[in-house]
Amino acid sequence: MSELKEVRFSAESEDLIQNLIKRYPEGKQKSALIPALHIAQAEYDGWLSVPVMDKIAEILNIKPIEVYEVASFYSMFNLNPVGKCLIEVCRTSSCWLRGANDVVAHIEKRLGIKDGETTPDGKFTLKTVECLGSCGTAPMLQIGEHFHENLTLENVDELINKYKTETSHSKYLDGSTFRKY
């Protein structure tokens, strides 16, 4: 654990988490844990390190283990570093019926990585996921908060080309997602 370094959230993230805590009754600030982890993940390169999770525990005044057990349960939390562009491809029934496996195979070939791997330059991570509620517009993939639907292999190529030059991490949310109370 020698790599532990001081984690300091931006004023914006800190403020957002404090604001989210207000949504729950007094003493129930633990309810803000999942949204707070999303905010932390968005600020820290798309994954949750132990120091980041410890900081969230400190802010919410709960034990670190309460954070770890939640972070390890939910599939959207990454406990290891990911590429700048995290490509999540749905492969459950309806998407499979409409060619999800072709999409996965194409991405693997284009990027030279397998499911779950990151390209050596740290640009892309490929992750296959279960149903994302886009069955009527299958096949689909998600990058950050964006759904890319009715995919063809040409669309996939365009997306890869577009995200190649992207310099910031794909995110599920930003400071403007949540309403302030």
Partner 1 sequence: MARKILLEHIDVPGINTYDVYRSKGGYASVEKALKTMNPQDVVEEVKKSGLRGRGGAGFPTGMKWSFLAKPEGVPSYLVCNADESEPGTFKDRYLMEYLPHLLIEGMITSSYALGANTSYIYIRGEYFYLVRILEKAISEAYANGWLGKNILGTNYSLDLYVHPGAGAYICGEETALLESLEGKRGNPRIKPPFPAIAGLYGCPTVVNNVETIAAVVPIINMTGDEYAKIGIGRSAGTKLISASGHIKKPGVYEIEMGITVEDFIYSDEYCGGILNDKKLKAVVAGGSSVPILPADLILTTANGEKRLMSYESLADGGFATGTMLGSGGFIVMDESTSIVQNLHTFARFYHHESCGQCSPCREGTGWMEKIIHKILDGHGTLEDIDLLWDIQRKIEGNTICPLGDAAAWPVASAIRHFRHEFEEFVKNPSAQREVKYYFHCNNIDTAAAYSSI
Q: What does residue 89 show for φ and ψ, rounded to 5 degrees?
A: -105, 125
Exactly one of 30, 110, 123, 164 binds partner 1 (CB under 8 A); that residue is 30
Nearest CA among 143, 135, 148, 137 for reference residue 168: 143
Is 108 a binding residue for partner 1 by CB under 8 A? The answer is no
C-beta closer to partner 1: residue 4 or 150:
150
Exactly one of 138, 141, 143, 159 binds partner 1 (CB under 8 A); that residue is 138
Is 82 a binding residue for partner 1 by CB under 8 A? The answer is no
Is 172 a binding residue for partner 1 by CB under 8 A? The answer is yes
Exactly one of 4, 65, 79, 105 binds partner 1 (CB under 8 A); that residue is 105
Give the separation between CA 36 and CA 42, rounded to whole angstroms.
10
Exactly one of 12, 28, 61, 63 binds partner 1 (CB under 8 A); that residue is 28
Interface with partner 1 (CB under 8 A), residue total 59
Q: Containing H/E element for 125?
A: strand 124-129
Contacting residues for 86 by C-beta, under 8 A, at least 6 apart: 46, 78, 124, 125, 127, 143, 144, 169, 170
Is 97 a binding residue for partner 1 by CB under 8 A? The answer is yes
Rounded to 5°, angle at Cα 164 from 138 and 108: 50
Is 86 a binding residue for partner 1 by CB under 8 A? The answer is no
Neighbours of 180 (CB within 10 A): 10
C-beta closer to partner 1: residue 7 or 70:
70
- 56-70: string of b/e by CB count within 10 Å (b at 16+)? bbebbeeeeeebbeb
C-beta closer to partner 1: residue 2 or 75:
75
Applying CB under 8 A, which residues contact partner 1? 23, 25, 28, 30-35, 37-38, 60, 62, 66, 69-70, 73-77, 91-94, 96-99, 101-103, 105, 129-139, 142, 145-147, 150-153, 172-173, 176-179, 181
